[in-house]
């Protein structure tokens, strides 16, 4: 028994029923201690003005009538790290191995499209990281970075001076791996999805504290983000007011706020959760011109980058067909699901991949569905999974 508010307690069997209800409706395993779950229940009851845990259970059982109820309860209890280039090996493989392969395969067919899904994108850092990685090698889209000269990535003695291989595919003066003359014909669409509405709201806003981008190359930050909340006192340092002010002055059209695509489970629930990238990942330090010296500064995703990404909410355990993708990122999601839900999700992700498409998981996650036809590939120490070109729609068999 755990005491909640004055005169209110929650019994162990009620906590067990709550865990089972969440698992049944979302596939998520709440592995936090009972004391932590009871504390969250107490806060939720107070915020929603519910009288007892029984009233909470009744509300969650009826969540089919209001799909926002269950994600609203999980907001704050799910604790999954998120950050820009949190998985640099995956971004490196995408930018320097996968995109050139996709370009070589598709370019003969004329204008081609590239669709990438960040399933479980949290507050959007992963989806924007994908967009930044693409822009580093596809200079005709989004924010160009680096030279299109194919020889600019190496010194005369043949040594590779491009640090992108060890920094997630993003580096100052990064070298495109495909033709800049023809890349304008590409149509790029990145979908970011998450279970939590609050996380998607942060992602759609595209506004992050400067500390979230610590370790990224300054040139990449300058090309992809606008600094607000500067020492000049814009809107007294209030990021929301500053965002409104900046949007009124922003150049370019379209903020990419259309909501198409998907969302996912197991992600961070607020904008302050982004951890950024560890300095040991190979990125250079961010200088003062990138806004690193002002703790109150925030960085806003520029419209050209924002237009590549759309966000929406989605429960990954509910079968919803959202089209085919060339690449799917499902990082740090599977460990939060039950064994049966992990298998079912992997089967759907395989179905959603185009033949020859790529699935990216974190290096601690394993494919748990033996019936799926994937081919493991490794680039610079990172292992990802390719669906064979000849794979049929029914799980590649």
36-93 pLDDT, tens per residue? Answer: 889 889 888 988 888 888 888 888 888 776 777 888 888 878 766 688 999 999 999 9
Share of the chain above pLDDT 70, in %: 65
pLDDT tens digits, one per residue of 343-372: 899 999 999 999 999 999 998 887 776 678
Q: Which residue has the higher pLDDT, 329 or 159?
A: 329
3-state secondary structure of 313: strand
> H/E element holding 130?
helix 125-137
Q: Out of 23-37, 68-82, 198-212, 288-302, pick the least confident.
A: 288-302
Tell me the helix, strand and coil percentages in the chain, rounded to 5: 40, 15, 45
Structure tokens at 232: 């000049």
Residue whose C-alpha is closest to residue 337's, from 45, 28, 82: 28
With a cut of 70, say whether residue 294 has pLDDT above it. no
Q: For the chain, what is the mean pLDDT? A: 74
Q: How sure is the predictor about 285, in pLDDT bands with cuts at 50, 70 and 90? A: very low
Distance between CA atoms of residues 259 and 138, nearest Å: 24
Is the overall model pTM greater than 0.85, yes or no? no
Q: Residue 306's pLDDT is what?
A: 94
Share of the chain above pLDDT 90, in %: 31
Assess contact for 288 and 218: CB atoms under 8 A: no
14 CB-near residues (< 8 Å, 6+ apart): 53, 54, 57
Distance between CA atoms of residues 352 and 243, nearest Å: 36
Residue whose C-alpha is closest to residue 165's, from 156, 155, 177: 177
Assess contact for 359 and 325: CB atoms under 8 A: no
Distance between CA atoms of residues 161 and 337, nearest Å: 42
Average pLDDT, integer, range 367-386: 87
With a cut of 70, say whether residue 283 has pLDDT above it. no
Distance between CA atoms of residues 305 and 141, nearest Å: 8
Assess contact for 310 and 192: CB atoms under 8 A: yes
Structure tokens at 154: 């190496």
With a cut of 80, say whether residue 170 has pLDDT above it. no
Residue whose C-alpha is closest to residue 129's, from 71, 45, 192: 192
pLDDT tens digits, one per residue of 221-272: 999 999 886 534 444 445 455 444 444 444 433 333 333 333 444 333 333 3
Q: Residue 267's pLDDT is what?
A: 38
Q: Residue 295's pLDDT is what?
A: 57
With a cut of 80, say whether residue 150 has pLDDT above it. no
Average pLDDT, integer, range 285-311: 71
Q: Residue 350's pLDDT is what?
A: 93
Q: Residue 276's pLDDT is what?
A: 35
Q: Which residue has the higher pLDDT, 106 or 323?
A: 323
């Amino acid at each position: 028994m755990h005491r909640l508010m004055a005169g209110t307690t929650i019994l162990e069997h009620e906590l067990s029923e709550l865990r089972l209800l969440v698992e049944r409706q979302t596939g998520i395993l709440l592995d936090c201690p009972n004391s932590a779950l009871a504390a969250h229940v107490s806060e939720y009851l107070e915020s929603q003005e519910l009288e007892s845990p029984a009233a909470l259970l009744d509300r969650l059982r009826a969540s089919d009538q209001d799909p926002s109820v269950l994600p609203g309860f999980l907001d704050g209890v799910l604790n999954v790290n998120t950050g820009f280039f949190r998985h640099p090996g995956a971004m490196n493989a995408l930018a320097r191995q996968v995109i050139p392969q996709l370009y070589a395969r598709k370019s003969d067919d004329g204008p081609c499209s590239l669709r990438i899904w960040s399933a479980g994108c949290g507050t959007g850092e992963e989806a924007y990281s994908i967009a930044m990685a693409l822009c580093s090698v596809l200079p005709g889209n989004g924010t160009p970075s680096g030279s299109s000269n194919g020889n600019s990535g190496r010194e005369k003695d043949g040594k590779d001076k491009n640090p992108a291989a060890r920094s997630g595919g993003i580096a100052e003066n990064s070298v495109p791996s495909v033709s800049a003359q023809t890349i304008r014909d590409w149509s790029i669409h990145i979908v970011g999805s998450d279970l939590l509405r609050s996380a998607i709201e942060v992602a759609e806003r595209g506004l992050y504290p400067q500390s979230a981008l610590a370790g990224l190359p300054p040139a990449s930050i300058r090309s992809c983000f606008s600094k607000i909340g500067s020492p000049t006192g814009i809107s007294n340092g209030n990021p929301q007011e500053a965002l409104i002010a900046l949007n009124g002055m922003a150049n370019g059209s379209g903020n990419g706020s259309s909501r198409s695509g998907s969302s996912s489970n197991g992600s961070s629930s607020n904008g302050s959760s982004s951890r950024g990238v560890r300095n040991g990942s190979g990125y250079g330090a961010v200088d003062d011109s990138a806004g690193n010296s002002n703790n109150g500064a925030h960085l806003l995703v520029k419209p050209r980058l924002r237009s590549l990404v759309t966000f929406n909410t989605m429960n990954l355990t509910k079968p919803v067909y959202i089209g085919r993708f060339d690449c799917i990122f499902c990082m740090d999601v599977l460990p939060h699901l039950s064994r049966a839900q992990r298998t079912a999700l992997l089967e759907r992700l395989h179905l959603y991949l185009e033949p020859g498409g790529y699935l990216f998981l974190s290096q601690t996650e394993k494919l748990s569905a033996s019936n799926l036809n994937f081919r493991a590939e490794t680039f610079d120490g990172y292992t990802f999974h390719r669906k064979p070109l000849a794979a049929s729609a029914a799980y590649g068999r």
